[in-house]
Structure 1
């Protein structure tokens, strides 16, 4: 005799192995620890790594991230975090004011 179908609902929900990866990724982002971030992205597929980077940098298009993925992974820590803001020093804004 087989068990009734409602018996399956008593099983504990499975947790995804990605939950730990996502928590570590968030922690590395919060600490601005690029080597740790790079270590968490390395074992991921390119698609998953690009998805994670597009969440981290919402102002960059996913297409741009995919196209420049190899360069992003080869960047130094300072270069990588400079992507956070398009013009972090305000140089471009100053040039526009001086030109106008």
Structure 2
């Protein structure tokens, strides 16, 4: 991984999560609504620098395992992507 864990988390959080539906700017959630310990794979695959990673952990300051709370709004929201990510293997 070329990015530090905090930078990787910020890069992943620029995208909405296709799995849990969390909006850009917030960490992934479990089915119970708590902050997940790892980002969902389809979300971090959207970041070119992280496509080869097997998992990206949620930083401790996002409070994994606790009830999810909306994060601060992003200064710049990226345009929605039209293509879908593909992970083979």
Superposition TM-score, scaled by structure 2 size: 0.28
| Structure with greater helix percent | 1
Superposition TM-score, scaled by structure 1 size: 0.26
Higher Cα radius of gyration: 1
